[in-house]
Structure 1
Amino acid sequence: MDCRRSRTNDPDQWIATCPEGSKAVCEELRDLIFRWEPDLKESVNSNMLCFSQKKRVCGISGFKNHAQLTFYRGSELPDPARLFNHGQENASIHSIDLPDGLEGLNLRALRSLLHAAVKVDTEPTQPKPPAAPREEWPMPEVLAAALKKNKAAAAFYEQLKPTYQREYKVWVGMAKQPDTIARRLEETVRALAAGKKWAQRKEG
């Protein structure tokens, strides 16, 4: 998506001043969108030609060598034809890069995608799915053995929340060289015995 300042706020002027490598495709996309969803309103925002209903439904970007069609709630849209080829890692916005213009593009699928986007725009935004829990970090054997030998350190470690326990396990477990393992283990036991979290271990 082109996030530069818009070169103009006028949609017609925006089309007229598109780079030559994408101008024709942007014009075609604009015509198709208004043919399929004539009630959408047109505006320019962040140098994109945007089409809105309640909120922004989609937007066209014109780059030097290609055009791009962005759907603001793309993650909520069915895409059986797999038109989306850019930004799928984004939680909401998905795009279609068009390096070859509309040649070979499934226009029927694109029309269905646009209709679905307009319908989704009338519905409340879906909450983001909860993040997958992080895989539990295994307890390093050397740390487990050291805690067995120091009751004060072990008692404080058991009181810590799993997040804070993980910090110590990762720090010790990531060490590879014997000297590094020994040094981190010594600092860990000393800090835990003094009732300190990992971030506080070097405090006096």
Structure 2
Amino acid sequence: MSADWRAERADEIRGLIRRGAPDVVEEAKWVKPSNPDGVPTFSSSGLLCTLETYKDKVKVTFAKGASLPDPAHVFNASLTAGTRRAVDVGENDVLDADAFVELIRAAVALNEAK
């Protein structure tokens, strides 16, 4: 993770993930030479989401996002993907924290229902 605004946004999002899934397990996966820190993944009864930083955004990709209710329209990326959905957050974007937490809770419930 970078040490600028993206790290702050990632920490904010981590807190929201933990608020929605207090027992969530965070692990680094897919470590490779081009990404030595790997990709932070969050699991609870299965994979919930990943958290990645890019030059202009922080991206949270929900593994089963296409199956989750999103009445507040938090998802704003990967909207046509068959299974996943993502939330891209820029430096000055406003993230609806309560709606995001509800997506996390819905993702946990979906995993537990399998």
TM-score (norm 2): 0.84
Which residue is equivalent to 1:28?
Answer: 12
For residues 53 and 105 of structure 2, the distance between their equivalents in structure 1, rounded to whole angstroms, comes to 22
* Equivalent position to 2:110, from 120, 135, 139: 120
Q: Distance in 2 between matches of 1:65 and 1:20?
A: 11
1:54 is matched with 45
Cα separation, 2, equivalents of 1:88 and 1:30 = 22
Out of 62, 74, 80, the position equivalent to 1:71 is 62
Q: Which runs of structure 2 are paired with 1:1-204 in the superposition (5 Å)?
A: 17-18=1-2, 20-46=4-30, 47-100=38-91, 103-124=93-114
Deviations 1:27-47 (A, max 9, x none): 111122123311011101233
| Superposed displacement of residue 82, structure 1 | 0.8
Structure 1 residue ranges (4+ consecutive) displaced by more than 3 angstroms after TM superposition: none
Q: Which runs of 5+ in 2 are unaligned?
A: 31-37
Shift of 1:21: 4.2
- Per residue, is there more strand in 1 or in 2? 2
More helix by share: 1
SS in 2 for 1:22: helix
Distance 2:105 2:45 in 1: 14
How many percent of aligned residue pairs carry the same amino acid?
27
Cα displacement (A) at 1:22: 1.1
Q: What RMSD in Å do the two structures reach over aligned CA positions?
A: 1.6
Q: Looking at both structures, which has the greater relative contact order when contacts are Cα pairs under 8 Å and sequence separation is at least 6?
A: 2
1:80 counterpart letter in structure 2? P
TM-score normalised by L of structure 1: 0.49
Write the distance in 2 (CA, Å) between the matches of 1:53 and 1:98: 23
* Contact 2:40 2:50 survives alignment (8 Å): yes
- Structure 1 stretches lacking a partner, 5+ long: 1-16, 125-204
